[in-house]
Structure 1
Amino acid sequence: MSAARDGDWHLLGYDTDPVPAEASGLDDVIRHYETITTQMETQAKLLKKIGDGDETLLKGWPPMPCANGPGRAPTR
């Protein structure tokens, strides 16, 4: 079910609520996007550190070998 919100929609060029929805149905969607936002902010901070020259984040993992040998592009 949808629930139109009261308001002066004519100020925006609408006679009624252009996006009627139950507010309670948005809680899960809001939490989902908040989680994505937090993850993206964390990744952006790490990438900024790497971009600023912090090499500590790149140490500790051995290089992955190329399946086709060094310097050779993978084949399809």
Structure 2
Amino acid sequence: MLFTVIDVPFADQIHFFYLSDLNSPDFAPGPESLECRLFKEEDIPWDQIAFPTITRTLRFFFDDRRTGLFRTHHIILRKP
């Protein structure tokens, strides 16, 4: 499911994030990541997340999970 579409005009980018199921407990970082881990919401190191698009997507996810209604979100990310 398409979950977030985030326009990043100052970088001339559009970021797309999808929801999916983790079919196996075996996962690993890809070539552009140093590490990957699963966290409980309360254990996420928010100040260590490198990209604001990831932070926004995670916050949308936890908000939607609380309501039980997952929808597609679209925002325009402005320069901080």
Band of TM-score, shorter chain: under 0.3
Q: Structure 1 length normalisation: TM-score?
A: 0.25
Q: Structure 2 length normalisation: TM-score?
A: 0.24
- The structure whose residues are more often helix, as a share, is 1
Q: Which has the higher contact order (CA 8 A, sep 6+)?
A: 2
- The structure whose residues are more often strand, as a share, is 2
